[in-house]
Structure 1
Amino acid sequence: MFTRFEKLSRRASELKNCFYCGAFLPAISGEHIFNSSWGSSYKDKNLICCQCNFSFSNSTDKAFLIYVQAVMNSWVFKGERHQKVPKIVLENEYFLDQGAKLKLKQPLIEDEILPDESIKSRLTFNSKSEAKRWTEGDGMATWLGRPPLAEEQEQLKKIIIETQLDRTDAKPQPISYQLNLREQYRSTAHTILKCLAFFLPEWVQEDLTKPIREFARYDKGDWRTFAIETKELFPVAEQATKHLGLGVHQNSVEIYWNSSTKMVVGVLTILNRVKRSVVIAQDYSGSDSILYVVEGTHGSNKPPDSVFIEFDQKQFPLPLFSVQYFSSPNNIYQYFHNELATLMGIYYPIDAITARLMQEIEKNNKKNLKLDHVSLEEYLNLFLSFLLDLGKVTGTSVDMTKARSKLIEYGFANLAHQHIGKLYTDPDVESLMTLAFEGAVKDFHAGVISIG
């Protein structure tokens, strides 16, 4: 089926002029292949000129910010442009701190007038230390309208010490956002063109790519003529994600040359969560092939890697992808509204609790490399906490007794009886833990461990 399968060398230095405006290269400053706000760090001065680079940074580069901030917040990492892990500002009095931890923008005071005309107050803080500072500082005095008495301060401090913490994150939260789809697709086209320039510089300068270049750089043409939804028969990014294990810590581009549709189509995947597809060229004639480009988001400054795959059309007569253009404006915006609602309402909180689980597992691994009954119980409780949080996200009440029983049945009983003393990195131990976790999650989705 494959007539060619090879890793391509980097050839950006062969470009002598900016493929947008024709200005001489190399530029004074480098351009990221994948946007730095998406976590990428590699720059190259041989792609586009400084003026074209600056034009994109003003507005187009910000188009995916809502998506990127959500992924980085939930998985607790930052891109080159972020000083720290992004916070998500909500419509109400809360914001989401790193790891989707729900926090108040400021202390919340709710006063309720009772039938006897007395006032019942409910005070909410992010932490006991914040509550203590509020009590000892100006906060309590402002609330009372006078300096607090010493006994009032001491009584409130006593209540704070005795109060049980209530963690209310790990569930969907309301958020304000504004979608600029035109700029999203310009950013998509720009990134895909840079990948072409980096590995196949002759292709990015062809007349076939002139319309997409003018759309990306000068906003010429209706974005809907370039924006498409694709269904690939060979989704290389998904296969590479499973193989490399990078998950959200990667950005990638797939470019499909397809003779049956006479199209060249580019697919951008940002942090393994957001996907956008554009038509790079029409009236294509030639061999069927795929260029796959991937770059990690670990701040390594390493250039992206790529593979090029060419197909034998006789052995593979089906098209590599199917294409669907977006229809009316109302349908378009509803489609992307639903996409963002799904990301923020389901994937975002699940990402957060998954990242938290992985962090806790790594922390446990460092404490004790060998499996014993105490650490086994700690792992079991981590998985139970995850299932409980998953229930909060989906609005499902989890029967913790059933969940515990299933985890024991699917692997923890075997671990306790046959694998005590083994290293956590032992393949048998890792395999049984994975089976137990996957089995319990499957039962969760099937309603086996839910209440009622």
Structure 2
Amino acid sequence: MNKCIYCNAEITEKSNEHIIHSALGSSLQSNKIICKECNNYFSTKESGYIDNKFVEQFAVIRNLLNIRSDRGKMPPIIKKIEHEGSAILLEPGGKFAYQKSKREEMKDEEGNIKFKISAPNLEKAKEQLKHVQKQYGKGFSSINAVSRKTYINKPIDLELSIGGEESTKAVAKILYNFIHYLDRESIITLPNIDWSSTQNYLRYSKDIDNRSTGIDYVNPLPYLIPEEDLANYVFISGSKHQKLIYGHVIVFGHIYFSAIIHNEYEGIDFSYGVRQPIDTKREEIFLKLKKQKFNPDVIRDKENYLVENIEGMKSSLNKILNIYAERSKKEELDKIISQAISEVFKGYEGAYINPEHIQKLSAKVAKDFVDWRYRIDSEVPIELKDELEE
């Protein structure tokens, strides 16, 4: 029977532990490494919520890239964003939306009551109109409604804070889980190792000054990650010469961490890794990785490497944002083309496309793309009264 890697108790009741957090789009997990009690511990205040705090750092990135958990749970909506005096939301996929509807009551020169309603979507607009109807009755002389596509033209500050002792402690936990996953799945055979120091650090919050984990853009990776890759990676290595078991955790292909989980290792050299794409439930175990010498000072003496790591993090975040920008452009263009085709060929049942269709389609796609690309607001009339009567 397997023993829990955190408390050494026999695992009598199986409990699934994700090697890489599910909220980061990964599905790799094991029910052979942790007991239920220890698994529950890591979701309590006593543990410092290290798993949650690690994942929460990437909320904005998860939102922009629309990364779902392995069970399909949507990424978080980013709230508390202000734009020109209005509260807005960042919905999954990087879509901005106004948080609240507005209803403004006015009177014209003849004393007639008018309402101006603005809402983030059509359903919210209908709700506001129903409130007005309930208050004043349905005897409106007219209802004029437009769907206005508006864009945010000014920069918006989105908070992104990565690092810190509690959250990077989760990096050591990922590596500790991974090496035992490899062992329990018979991918490697670990020698008899005293893990008490790592257990005390992760499970019992002792040695809280441990600094052998953190952001690391200095040590080379044992695998060349493609520029456009957004997969999650975990690399674990053992060096008899350095007496270290250490590894790297790469989030979304560009955000690098490393940690030492044992500093008295005397076994044979090894190096393994896993690649977990964010859009599939497939993982790839790497059995052969480049052997790289690891510089432990990068994470033990963080101040001396602070500038290099900050610059590396900036560069990585820019790469992720560029990937997001290209994805959103393609997504928007696909949507524009689809809508244009639907509009131009609405009700058309002919067998052939004529030059007039092509001209209308080209003009529609060009206009909508220019509006989107250069942030030009546009309005389309809506028969809101008819929809309400239905």
Instruction: Please state which band the TM-score falls in when normalised by the shorter chain.
Output: 0.5 to 0.7
The structure whose residues are more often helix, as a share, is 1
Q: In percent, how many aligned pairs have the same letter? A: 16
- The answer (yes or no) to whether the contact 2:233–2:274 under 8 Å persists in 1 is yes
1:172: Cα distance to partner?
A: 5.0
The residue that corresponds to 2:31 in the other structure is 45
The one of 239, 260, 275 aligned to 1:279? 260
- Counterpart of 2:288? 308
Secondary structure at 2:257's aligned position in 1?
Answer: strand
Residue 189 (str. 1) matches residue 180 (str. 2): no
Q: Does 1:297 align with 2:278?
A: yes
Task: Report the CA distance shift for 1:107/1:273 in structure 2 as closer, same or farther (over 3 A).
Answer: farther
**Normalised TM-score (structure 1):** 0.59
Within 2, Cα distance between the matches of 1:174 and 1:127? Answer: 24
- 1:353 lines up with 2:337 in the alignment: no
Q: Secondary structure at the match of 2:298?
A: strand
Structure 2 equivalent of residue 101 of structure 1: 95
Structure 1 CA distance, aligned partners of 2:256 and 2:8? 30
Decide whether the 8 Å contact of 2:53 with 2:167 is kept in 1. Answer: yes
Question: What is the alpha-carbon distance in structure 2 between the residues aligned to residue 187 and residue 274 of structure 1?
Answer: 14
Deviations 1:363-422 (A, max 9, x none): 779x9xxxxx98999999999788758xxxxxxxxxxxxxxxxxxxxxxxxxxxxxxxxx
Structure 2 counterpart of 1:168? 152
Corresponding residue SS for 1:255: strand
List alignment gaps of at least 5 residues for structure 1. 1-14, 113-119, 312-317, 368-372, 390-452
Instruction: Give aligned pairs, total.
Output: 332
Deviation at 1:31, TM superposition (A): 1.8
Deviations 1:228-279 (A, max 9, x none): 4434564245x2445xx7x33x321122445675533221122324332212
- Are residues 219 and 240 of structure 1, via their aligned partners in 2, closer, same or farther at CA, if it must alter by over 3 Å? same
TM-score (norm 2): 0.67
For 1:341 and 1:104, the matched residues in 2 are separated by: 31
Stretches of structure 2 that go unaligned for 5 or more consecutive residues are 107-113, 342-357, 376-390
1:126 maps to a residue whose letter is P
CA distance in 2, matches of 1:53, 1:342: 32
CA distance in 2, matches of 1:273, 1:104: 31
* Counterpart position of 1:63: 53
C-alpha displacement of 1:166: 0.7
Tell me the alpha carbon deviations over residues 395-451 of structure 1, each in whole angstroms, 9 at most, x when there is no partner: xxxxxxxxxxxxxxxxxxxxxxxxxxxxxxxxxxxxxxxxxxxxxxxxxxxxxxxxx
- Aligned equivalents of 2:12 and 2:322: distance in 1? 44
SS in 2 for 1:22: coil
Equivalent residues of 1:293, 1:304 under 8 A apart: yes
By how many angstroms is 1:108 displaced? Answer: 4.0
1:32-431 equivalences under 5 Å are: 32-58=18-44, 59-80=49-70, 83-92=73-82, 93-108=87-102, 124-134=118-128, 136-138=129-131, 140=132, 147=136, 150-151=139-140, 154=142, 157-158=143-144, 160-161=145-146, 164-168=148-152, 172-175=155-158, 181-200=164-183, 202-203=189-190, 206-207=193-194, 209-231=195-217, 234-236=220-222, 239-241=224-226, 247-248=229-230, 250-258=231-239, 262-284=243-265, 289-298=270-279, 300=281, 302=282, 305-309=285-289, 311=291, 319-321=293-295, 323-325=297-299, 343=317, 350-360=322-332
